[in-house]
Amino acid sequence: MSTRPRFDRGHTDDLISFLAASPSPYHAVASAAERLEKAGFRQVEETEAWDGGTGGKYLLRGGAIVAWFVPEAAAAHTPYRIVGAHTDSPNLRVKPLPDTGAHGWRQVAVEIYGGPLLNSWLDRDLGLAGRLSLRDGTSRLVNVDRPLLRVAQLAIHMDRSVHTEGLKLDKQKHMQPIWGLGGDVREGDLIRFVEEECGLAPGDVTGWDLMTHSVEPPAYLGRDRELLAGPRMDNLLSVHAATAALAAVATAPGADALPYIPVMAAFDHEENGSQSDTGADGPLLGTVLERSVFARGGTYEDKARSFAGTVCLSSDTGHAVHPNYGERHDPTHHPRANGGPILKVNVNNRYATDGGGRAVFAAACEKAGVPFQSFVSNNAMPCGTTIGPITAARHGIKTVDVGVAILSMHSARELCGADDPYLLAEALRAFLEG
């Protein structure tokens, strides 16, 4: 069998670089902004007055980014085409008093963020990354991307029941990573270490948002390299695809004649409910869209007309059919790796897709020449949710839930088809073009 990939892997190669450079939401939005800058976008500040000029713009707030391109043909009431995603992933996050330990081991106190598969974090070499808040009021990103921490599993000789009763992990007692040897706990030790790593003076760091990440890089997998294994695909795969799609649309011939204003919005805190100033349940997206209308000389009536014609694709990973657990899936809906993006449906509004939304996505996929699949949960299984229903309800705009089918969702290392990221990006590009 030929080992030649089905598609040009340039997009997936860039996704690998994006995942490796984005161990935290703060790094992810910086990585996205870097790509948008190369496409001619410029950053705007929330504290400054916005002009009504055309072209690409983006706004950063913590671990969230909203970017949009205003064509020359845009009027104040021009509708938006939005791709929404989220930047956060389940992991282990450093507590306010991080220095701890027992029995001669030095450890870091962590809190469980979101709903990770805890066993996937055991016996894995972990780095440390995130955002530092400094005494002078500025902030700085930090990424210690080398083996620094490890959550050690108990040996089989001391837990003989693990094979008969399953692995049982206490989130408080069993998930604190080791990072050295020593006697007494040394208060402030971890933050002093981080300051040294960043070339900062002792006491410069007065606040932090730090988290662990696996230092094993993303990689193609399988005999024919048709799979991709890596961290944080839920949901940086969608953030990367949305960024690539927006940049492609904004730099394509005829961009100034687009019938819609294309937007990419990547939020933080989806994994714990989206209720924050950078989450999808906060006012960030609505504020940006409103200010853009008003900056172009629009009125409240223009804003209402714009929102009424707006459509959002909520892009988040979904579940590929699992070869070892096929019975957990709906009998007639089996999304497969490299089968194209998935359309996610739930009649109880855990996903926002309806028949009209399906038609919008089907048209985009047809335009892009991309196949798509449908996902619906087994009736006996609770269905997860996304930013889709939140976006639809909060802003009153039609929203459709889509994504890429993966295995090992919420693991420290997930798995997808190596062609699917490109197929998703192409569908998103066609959607943003209108």
Do 20 and 99 sit in the same domain of this protein?
no
CATH code of 23's domain = 3.40.630.10
In a domain, 128, yes or no: yes
Number of domains the chain contains: 2
- 329 annotated to bind ligand: no
Cα distances (Å, whole numbers) of residue 315 to 12, 41, 42, 86, 242: 17, 22, 24, 8, 8
pLDDT given for residue 2 in this prediction: 41
Q: What is the mean pLDDT of residues 60-66?
A: 98
In terms of DSSP H, where are the helices of 1-140? 10-20, 25-38
User: Is the model's pLDDT at 4 over the cut of 60?
Assistant: no
User: Is the model's pLDDT at 224 over the cut of 60?
Assistant: yes
Lowest-confidence pick of 38-42, 92-96, 382-386? 382-386
pLDDT given for residue 7 in this prediction: 67
Q: What is the mean pLDDT of residues 344-371?
A: 97
Do 286 and 301 sit in the same domain of this protein?
yes
In a domain, 5, yes or no: no
Q: 202 lies in which domain range?
A: 91-214
In a domain, 223, yes or no: no
Tokens of 132: 């530092």
Residue 45 one-letter amino acid: E
Last residue of a domain, one of 214, 245, 268: 214
With b for 16 or more beta-carbon neighbours within 10 A and e for fewer, the 342-353 pattern comes to bbbbbeeebbbb
Q: What is the mean pLDDT of residues 208-226?
A: 97
Cβ–Cβ contacts within 10 Å for residue 311, how many? 20
Average pLDDT, the chain: 96
Do 173 and 54 sit in the same domain of this protein?
no
Report angle CA 62, 233, 86 to the nearest 5 degrees: 35
| Main-chain dihedrals φ then ψ at residue 326, nearest 5 degrees | -60, -30
Model confidence over 241-257: pLDDT tens digits? 999 999 999 999 999 99
Q: What is the mean pLDDT of residues 60-80?
A: 97
What secondary structure does DSSP assign to 171-191, as a single string?
TTTS-PPEEEE-SS--TTHHH
Q: What is the mean pLDDT of residues 216-236?
A: 97
User: Is the model's pLDDT at 1 over the cut of 50?
Assistant: no
- 410 annotated to bind ligand: yes
Do 287 and 178 sit in the same domain of this protein?
no
pLDDT given for residue 151 in this prediction: 98
Model confidence over 139-149: pLDDT tens digits? 999 999 999 99
pLDDT band at 185 (very low <50, low <70, confident <90, very high): confident
Do 95 and 85 sit in the same domain of this protein?
no
- 86 annotated to bind ligand: yes
pLDDT given for residue 186 in this prediction: 82
pLDDT given for residue 182 in this prediction: 85
Percent of the chain scoring above 90 in pLDDT: 95
CA separation for the pair 150, 128 (Å, rounded): 11
Do 207 and 238 sit in the same domain of this protein?
no
Q: What is the mean pLDDT of residues 106-116?
A: 97
